Amino acid sequence: MTRLFDLTGKIALVTGARSGLGQAMALALAAAGADISGLGSSPMPETRRLIEQAGRAFCEVQCDLAQLDDADEVVCGVTHELGPIDILVNCAGIIRRAEISNHAAEAWDEVLDVNLRSLFLLSQAAARSMVAYGRQGRIINVASVLAFQGGIRVAAYAAAKHGVAGLTRAMANELAPAGITVNAIAPGYMMTANTEALRADAQRSSEILGRIPMGRWGAPDDLTTATLFLASPASSYVTGTMVVVDGGWMAR
């Protein structure tokens, strides 16, 4: 049974690995035996330290996903440093809050560029590499419960996450013949930098917690088992799906 979740010898590229959900997902993959490339816009010494303490190799890619021009170059760089990519985790994301009438076009573009455009380009490049090297790879996208809902004051974010859901299914359809699975994890309200403003607002935080049956904000580590399942041989017949990790939010 343990072999079903063994990632020894696998190479994973994780975006947004400096902190929060991305860091937790990268550490989970490393604990299962994968070597990790962490992609972010700034250095991530803590992630490096923790992964190397786990006995795995780590390489860092500094890249502003809002300005991503050559995803193939990113993938080739990781391949040169660690080897061909087996697992891509698209976790990096930003959020900009504003009412519809005041939502700046620049903020819209920034959110869509980071949360959707770069995800597509990296997935496209990773899939090309997986096919070229004969890898039966895994692509894991981080969506959101706002892939199913509209939210409040987060139009660009909701649009991007709806896009992630659709793109996950579209890629799953096309890449399945190559043995590449594409799935998404849809977190609920998690304790990350993106929700700091909500958690600091006593009224809004109370409203959110009142709808979550588990009665708490999610922690980054709550995503680790879903990440391992979707990255491992255990999920070889699972593709095009959304795994919701939300403490019951969508059930209420």
In angstroms, the CA 54 to CA 12 distance is 15
In angstroms, the CA 51 to CA 35 distance is 8
In angstroms, the CA 112 to CA 147 distance is 14
Residues 6 or more apart whose Cβ sits within 8 Å of residue 153: 97, 98, 99
Instruction: Confirm if 85 and 122 have CB atoms less than 8 A apart.
Output: no
In angstroms, the CA 167 to CA 169 distance is 5
Known active-site residue 237: no
Closest CA relative to residue 243, chosen from 168, 204, 187, 190: 187
Q: Which is catalytic among the residues 133, 157, 189, 237?
A: 157
Specify the amino acid at residue 73.
E
Written as one string, the DSSP assignment of 104-147 is: -HHHHHHHHIIIIIHHHHHHHHHHHHHHHTT---EEEEE--GGG
Task: Give the residue numbers annotated as catalytic, written as ranges.
Answer: 157
